[in-house]
Amino acid sequence: MEIGEFLREKVMAVQEYSLLSWTAMTNIFRRPFYWVDLYTQADLIGVGSAPIVILTGFFTGGVLALNSASTLAQFGAKAVTGTLVSLSMIKELGPVLTGLMVSGRNASGMASELGSMQVTEQIDAMRALGVDPLKKLVTPRVLSTIIMLVFLTIISDALGTLGGGWISSTMGINLSQYFHSAYQALRYPDVLEGLVKPLLFGFIIATVGCYFGMSTRGGTQGVGRSTTQAVVVSSVLIIFSDFLISQLTIGLFGR
């Protein structure tokens, strides 16, 4: 393919993606609003992803404690393990890992579901029956992913801190000291950062998943392609925007 053609295609895709995201968000304020679909999606994303988020959160906290405690022991600073675990969990790993897990599970799910609907003309049928697919399919998915990802991230943060505590206690760190240092370490900007990230990641997961689903062409093969692309693109965007937000908070709050 010619390079100019390639670039033109990518620019068009970004433009279409932006339009879809914008419409999905402004639809929140337009009638009709599909509450039932919002609820179904929230259940699917929130409850469905809870087990994997709990597991990954717990063991990530554990492995953080394992690594930091053994390193800190060399400096005689094992007592600050709690600080390290809670800061890393809440600022970075909780949001990012939860985002990546939900992206693997739900961005792909959305892309394949909407993609199959697209190639079997169900999306067209919906429009033909007087229903706007952006309102009915996209907006509820975007909104529920944003909301649920915040809760899932909080769960992951909590489980990570717990997992860190469990490992610390096996390494001879006093538990109450661990939790004390974990709690003391947190400042308002850290918590803010940890909660803004899932808002953005949720938005990325759902809009990217829905965009690739809605723009699927070329039968069942196309559905497979969209699904893979949705996971790859949303994961990269999550990690990239995580970097940007971390930069921004350091610029704003100095930590």
Residues of the shown chain interacting with another protein in the complex, contacts defined by CB under 8 A = 120-122, 124-132
Q: What is the smallest separation between the CB atom of 231 and another protein, expressed in angstroms?
A: 22
Amino acid at 22: W
Using the Cα atoms of residue 111, residue 117, residue 119 and residue 124 in order, give the sign of their dihedral.
Answer: negative
- Closer to another protein by Cβ: residue 40 or 228: 40
Pick between residue 116 and residue 168 the one whose CB is nearest to another protein. 116
Q: How far apart are the first and last CA of the chain?
A: 46
How near is the Cβ of 32 to another protein at its closest, in Å? 8
Min dist CB 162 to another protein, Å, is: 38
Rounded to 10 degrees, the C-alpha dihedral 153/156/160/162 comes to 120
Q: 252: number of CA atoms within 13 Å, CB side?
A: 11
**With respect to another protein, which residue has the nearer C-beta, 132 or 190?**
132
Nearest-angstrom CA–CA distance, 58 and 103: 19
Taking the least distance from each CB to another protein, the nearer of 130 and 172 is 130
**Shortest distance (Å) from residue 69 CB to another protein:** 49
Q: Which is nearer to another protein, 43 or 121 (CB)?
A: 121
User: How far, in Å, CA of 252 to CA of 246, rounded?
Assistant: 10
**Residue among 16 and 124 whose Cβ is closer to another protein:** 124
Smallest distance, another protein to C-beta of residue 220, A: 13
List the Cα angle 84/203/102 in 5-degree steps. 60
How far apart are alpha carbons 164 and 167 in whole angstroms?
A: 5
The CA distance from 144 to 202, in Å, is 8
In the complex, the smallest distance separating the C-beta of residue 2 from another protein, rounded to whole angstroms, is 13
